[in-house]
A and B are shown apart, each in its own frame.
Chain A
Amino acid sequence: MGRHAESKIITDFLAQIAALTTHAKDPDLRAEQEPLRYLCLTALWQLLNNAFQNDGSTPLSNQQIHLLQQVDIQVQASEALTSTALHDQVRQLL
């Protein structure tokens, strides 16, 4: 799979995760979805960062940096809607 296709899959995934959370009409459902979104996005960021940094033989490419930043923008948005206790728990977990 080419890097372009890989990036598109990730950006589509981000859009889908956002839709599953923000488009929920039931406020209780939204409240339950947001922490799951935060966990999912944070894990995705770590997953990509691990893969891109690899064995440290070369720095990241601009495309890889851009993709990590795109995910982090979503993480920050979710962070603003979730508790610091959750952030601490997720950091310890990952």
Chain B
Amino acid sequence: MRAFIPPTVLERLAELSQSVADKQSFGIIALNKQAIVKIFNETESRLSGLSKAEVMGRNFFTEVAPCTASRLFRGRFRQGQNDGALDEHFYYTFTYRIRPISAHVHMLYNPQQNPLLFIFIDRIIQLYEDLG
């Protein structure tokens, strides 16, 4: 999978705040250990159609995006919490009550740099999609 996160972001995870996240052109969501949303950037808000107010402080898997309460998505989150670190890439197709969209998901957890688990989302524009 093609890496989409600039090294300046990856190498400075400790400094990845809401304001820094808002400047990025891909989706960024950060969760604490209880899966509560702590960062939800402007790009993710615009592309998902969810406002920050609807999302911040809520449980990501049960209240924000129930379609991610799956073995693959939530399973990786739990794996990261159990292992104390995570750096995983996978494709995920969001179908739940939205226009279906596939995305490259990069889940990153490095508690030595930042106590939050980051979910970076790069949506795939499908070539056969009718853009008219």
Our verdict on whether A and B bind, yes or no, reads: yes
* Contact surface of A with B, Cβ cutoff 8 Å: 46, 49-50, 52-60, 64-65, 68-69, 72, 76, 91-92, 94
B126 to chain A, nearest CB (A): 8
Contacts of A59 in B (CB 8 A): 91-93, 102, 124
| A56 pairs with B105, CB closer than 8 A | yes
| A56 pairs with B100, CB closer than 8 A | no
- Once A and B bind, how many residue pairs between them come within 8 Å at the CB atom? 53
* Contact surface of B with A, Cβ cutoff 8 Å: 62, 66-67, 69-73, 89-93, 95-97, 100, 102, 105, 124
In angstroms, Cα B105 to Cα A58, docked, is 12
| B95 pairs with A57, CB closer than 8 A | no
A–B pairs, 13, beta carbons within 8 Å: A49-B70, A55-B90, A56-B105, A59-B91, A59-B92, A59-B124, A60-B93, A65-B95, A68-B95, A91-B62, A91-B66, A91-B69, A92-B62
Contacts of B93 in A (CB 8 A): 52-53, 59-60, 64-65
A61 to chain B, nearest CB (A): 9
| A53 pairs with B69, CB closer than 8 A | no
| A50 pairs with B102, CB closer than 8 A | no
In angstroms, Cα B90 to Cα A49, docked, is 15
Contacts of B66 in A (CB 8 A): 91
Contacts of B91 in A (CB 8 A): 56-59
At the interface, is chain B mostly helix, strand, loop or mixed? mixed
| B70 pairs with A50, CB closer than 8 A | yes
| B70 pairs with A46, CB closer than 8 A | yes
Contacts of B67 in A (CB 8 A): 49
| A53 pairs with B73, CB closer than 8 A | yes
In angstroms, Cα B99 to Cα A69, docked, is 10
A53 to chain B, nearest CB (A): 5
Contacts of B73 in A (CB 8 A): 53
Contacts of A94 in B (CB 8 A): 69
| A46 pairs with B69, CB closer than 8 A | yes
In angstroms, Cα B94 to Cα A64, docked, is 12
Known: A65-B93, A69-B95, A72-B97. A56 touches B62 (CB 8 A): no
A10 to chain B, nearest CB (A): 14
